[in-house]
Structure 1
Amino acid sequence: MKPLFTNEAKKIWGEIAKNAKIESHSYELEIHKKLLELFQAGSFYYFIFDVKNGEYEFISPEITTILGYPTDIKVMDHLENIHPQDQPYFLNFENTLREFFAKLPVDKKQKYKVRYDFRIKNSLGKYVRILHQLVILQHDDLGNIYKSLGIHTDISQLKKSGAPALSFIGLEGEPSYINVKSKKIYRPAITLELFTKREKQVLQLFAAGKSSLETGAFLNLSKLTVDNYRKKLLLKTNSKNLNALVSRAIMEDWL
C-alpha cells in the first residue's frame, strides 16, 4: 500500500492548500506561541509542514532521539514507516481534517488544533505510538492553508493498544470535538502483521491442503482449537470460506 498511501496523502494536502497565495514573512514568534498550545507532557519533537509542497520545512533535532531519524528526512520516507494498519486511519483523518477546515470561517482556522495518534516504526524497527498534534500556522486571505506547525509526542507508555482516534480541540473559547468519526474512504490492507504466529502456522497448513484434523495433529492442537483459528482468520480477512481465504493468501503473498 506504500506508493498508494503516500500518493493519497499528497493528494489530500494538495486539496487543503489549493491555490494558496503564499506570503513570505517571519513567524518565529507565532511558532513559540503555538508550541505552548500544542504542548504535551513527554518526549516530543516539532516540525513546520509546507502543505502546498507536501514537505517539511523544519524538524527539530529531538526527532533523532525519539525515532532515530535525521532532521532532513523526507515526508514520504517518514510516512512509509507508519504501521500498515494505521495508514488508512492516517488518510481518513487527514481527509476529515481537510473537510473540517474547509467549512470553518477564515477567522477561525487558527483557533483549532488537530489531535490523533498512530504507530510508526523507529530506526531500530520498533513501533512507537505517536500523538500527532498540529495547528494552522499560515493561510491566505481566502483561508487556503499552506503552513502548519506540528508536535509528535511519544505516548507509547500511555496508550499501549486500541485504534487511533481523532479530535479537534477548540482554542480561545471555541468548542471541541472529541473522537470524531471519519468516513472510511481508505480501509486497512491485510498484512502478515495482522496475524498471530499461530494463525500464520494454521494458514500455511490450510494452504498446503491440510484439514483441520491434520493441522491439529501437526501443531498438537485439538480440532476444535484449529476450527476456532479458522473462524478468526475468516473474520480478520473478511473471507467467505476457507477456499476464498487460501486463494487470497496465495494471491496477496501472506504465506
Structure 2
Amino acid sequence: MKTPILTDIYRNWEEIGRFKSREELQLDLELYKKLLDIVRVGDSDHFLFDPFLRKIVMTSVMFGNVVVLRPEELDVDYLMNNIHPECLPVLGDFEATVAEFKKSLPNDKLTKYKSRYNYRFRTKRGEYVHILQQSNTVLADEDGAVLRNLVIHTDILEIAPFQRMKLSFIDLEGEHRS
C-alpha cells in the first residue's frame, strides 16, 4: 500500500537515479563482503539498490540476519511497509534530504559520501529492531544518475536502544558532514 509519504520517497529516488539504457551492471562484491565483516557492530544485511527502478538487485548471501527474510522474499515495498509508523514521516524527510544532497554534489563526488540514519523496523516475527541504515552510491553514470547504492542494515538495539532518529552524511575521504 503506497501512502503519500512512500510516494514522495519513491519520487525522490527516481529524481536521483534516472533510468538510462545500459548493459547489465556487474560488481565484484567479494571485497565489500570482506570489508563489511571487519566493521560490523551487530547483525547486518546488505543489498544493492537501483533507486530509479526501486528494485533490490542483489542481496548478501547472509541476508535475513536483521529483517529475518529470505533474499527472494525481499522487496522495497516490504521494507518500506515495515518501518515503524512513527518513524516513517521522519524517514521520508531524511530521504528527501539525501536526494537533495546527492543532487547538489558534483558527479565525481557521488560515490565519495555515505548517508546514515536510524529507525525502528518490524521483522517477520513481528518484533521491532533498531536499524542503522548506511547507504553509499557505488555506481553512477557520467551525468550524475545514481545507478546502484550499497545499503547496509545493522541491528543496533543491543548497543543503542531507540531514542530518536538522526541523519548524517559522511565523506568517505575524511570530512564528516551532519
TM-score above 0.5: yes
Which runs of structure 2 are paired with 1:90-239 in the superposition (5 Å)?
Answer: 90-173=91-174, 175-178=175-178
Q: Which SS does the other structure have where 1:120 is aligned?
A: strand
Q: Deviations over 1:165-216 (max 9, x none)?
A: 000111123x2113xxxxxxxxxxxxxxxxxxxxxxxxxxxxxxxxxxxxxx
Structure 1, gaps ≥5 residues long: 179-255
Distance 1:171 1:161 in 2: 26
What is the identity, as a one-letter code, of the residue corresponding to 1:71?
A: P
Structure 1 residues 47 and 108: alpha-carbon distance in aligned structure 2, compared to 1, 3 A threshold: same
- 1:20/1:140 contact within 8 Å kept: no
Structure 1 residues 22 and 94: alpha-carbon distance in aligned structure 2, compared to 1, 3 A threshold: farther
Structure in which a larger fraction of residues adopt helix: 1
Structure in which a larger fraction of residues adopt strand: 2
- 1:21/1:140 contact within 8 Å kept: no
> TM-score with structure 1 length normalisation?
0.63
Equivalence for 1:60: 60
- 1:48/1:59 contact within 8 Å kept: yes
Cα offset for 1:11?
1.1
> TM-score with structure 2 length normalisation?
0.88
Equivalence for 2:24: 24
- 2:66/2:153 contact within 8 Å kept: no
Q: Deviations over 1:65-109 (max 9, x none)?
A: 322212122111121000001101111111111111111111111
Q: Which SS does the other structure have where 2:53 is aligned?
A: coil
- 1:6/1:79 contact within 8 Å kept: yes
Equivalence for 1:4: 4
Distance 2:59 2:146 in 1: 19
Cα offset for 1:25?
3.7
Q: Which has the higher contact order (CA 8 A, sep 6+)?
A: 2
- 2:19/2:53 contact within 8 Å kept: no
Structure 1 residues 87 and 19: alpha-carbon distance in aligned structure 2, compared to 1, 3 A threshold: same
Q: Does 1:87 align with 2:121?
A: no
Percent of residue pairs bearing the same amino acid type: 32
Distance 1:34 1:43 in 2: 14
Which protein shows a greater Rg?
A: 1
Structure 1 residues 114 and 22: alpha-carbon distance in aligned structure 2, compared to 1, 3 A threshold: farther
Structure 1 residues 137 and 7: alpha-carbon distance in aligned structure 2, compared to 1, 3 A threshold: same
Distance 2:134 2:33 in 1: 11
